[in-house]
Amino acid sequence: MAKKESIKSLKELQVMMPELVKKYGNDQKIVLGALANPILALEELGYSISAKAKTEIEERIKYGPEGKKEFEKIEKKIQKTAGKSIDPNSNKDLSKYFEKKLGDEFKLNKKKVKTADLIRLINKPPDKRAILIKNRDPLEKYKKADDLIPLLIEYREMKASVPELAPKPLYKKITAGKMKSGISFSKMKIKMNKSSKAATRKTKK
């Protein structure tokens, strides 16, 4: 069995892009797959992708070159407000924080509210349509319960606005031509930058 070619970073993939486009650019199935989930598409082509590269590729697609910085800013605000290191994507971290901070119940608008009800909402993935189209997050009604809630609402809104990579079942349907990916090349954001172009020129010499 031939040894798989490995991709260890986003930069390596950027250097490879001209050759990949030349080789597979006219193959509709591969192009559709790459638009839906480039990581799965590359793995199907026989490439081995490191965990570091997968993270970098996914973050570039989701956030673009600058978007990640905005997420890091709000994450720092969340940690500063919480007074400790806390992962806004971790249900466990958030549950522990609110259980300790609010106890079993707390007062909101002169009414007693169970902390478990708040935690249940936090642990439930928000409806992107409700957040983006209706501009309504279920957490809004708990906004005054704790200073961390408005920041979590902002964070969830930011997350709702970024594209997601297609999970494997959906990827299979897309590559089989059963449905459209709904993702454009512009959203992939895996474009050659100046450094990758320079690196490509060096490899040709």
Return the top range by mean pLDDT from 71-80, 158-167, 176-185, 194-203. Answer: 71-80
Q: What is the DSSP string of 143-162?
A: TTT-THHHHHHHHHHHHHTS
SS3 113: strand
User: Would you kindly state where each structural domain of the chain is located, as residue ranges?
Assistant: 6-65+166-204, 86-160
**Can you tell me the distance from the alpha carbon of 129 to that of 119, in angstroms, rounded to the nearest whole number?**
21
pLDDT at 4: 66
**Can you tell me the distance from the alpha carbon of 168 to that of 144, in angstroms, rounded to the nearest whole number?**
39
pLDDT one-digit tens code per residue, 140-192 = 899 999 999 999 999 988 888 887 888 899 999 989 887 655 444 334 444 44
Residue 201 gets which letter from DSSP? H
Tell me: pLDDT of 65 over 80.
no
With the C-alpha atoms ordered 22, 27, 32, 34, is the resulting torsion angle positive or negative? Answer: negative
pLDDT one-digit tens code per residue, 8-50 = 999 999 999 999 999 999 998 999 999 899 999 999 999 999 9
- For the chain, first and last CA: distance in Å? 31
pLDDT at 62: 82
Residue 49 gets which letter from DSSP? E
**Can you tell me the distance from the alpha carbon of 64 to that of 176, in angstroms, rounded to the nearest whole number?**
28
Cross-strand pairs, 106 = 113
With the C-alpha atoms ordered 53, 57, 60, 62, is the resulting torsion angle positive or negative? Answer: negative
pLDDT at 189: 43
Q: Which H or E run includes 129? A: helix 128-132
Least confident of 60-64, 75-79, 146-150: 60-64
What is the DSSP pairing of strand 48-49 with strand 6-7? parallel
pTM of the complete model:
0.63
pLDDT one-digit tens code per residue, 95-108 = 999 999 999 999 99
pLDDT at 137: 85
**Can you tell me the distance from the alpha carbon of 144 to that of 105, in angstroms, rounded to the nearest whole number?**
14
Least confident of 11-25, 74-88, 115-129, 178-192: 178-192
Least confident of 3-7, 70-74, 176-180: 176-180
pLDDT at 23: 93
**Can you tell me the distance from the alpha carbon of 180 to that of 177, in angstroms, rounded to the nearest whole number?**
7
pLDDT one-digit tens code per residue, 36-46 = 999 999 999 99
**Can you tell me the distance from the alpha carbon of 200 to that of 205, in angstroms, rounded to the nearest whole number?**
9
Residue 84 gets which letter from DSSP? S
